[in-house]
Amino acid sequence: MSGLGRWSLWIGVGLVVVAVVSGVLSLIPVAVIAGILAVVVLAMAGYDAIYNALGRAELRRRAAKVEREREQGH
């Protein structure tokens, strides 16, 4: 996960905590806004994690292809 993804994850977790505490304190408008923002930010973190995982998988596929070509050439 990149730096932005980690920041998004921690900010999202923080916003979830703010939403829960606000809900307990009956600050419903604050809880709703924080909850919506938390969902958006956590979705960004999830997208970043998936994007990086797919990039690493592509690199592994390329490396395996090169290795197979080397083995067939010898």
Per-residue 3-state assignment (H helix, E strand, C coil) for 13-64: HHHHHHHHHHHHCCCHHHHHHHHHHHHHHHHHHHHHHHHHHHHHHHHHHHHH
* Domain span at 10: 3-73
pLDDT digits (tens, 9 = 90+) for 22-72: 999 989 999 999 999 999 999 999 999 999 999 999 999 999 999 888 888
- The pLDDT, as a whole number, for residue 8 is 87
Q: Is the pLDDT of residue 4 over 90?
A: no
Q: What's the number of domains the chain is made of?
A: 1
pTM: 0.73
The pLDDT score that the predictor gives to residue 2 is 65
Q: Which residue has the tokens 């923002």?
A: 37
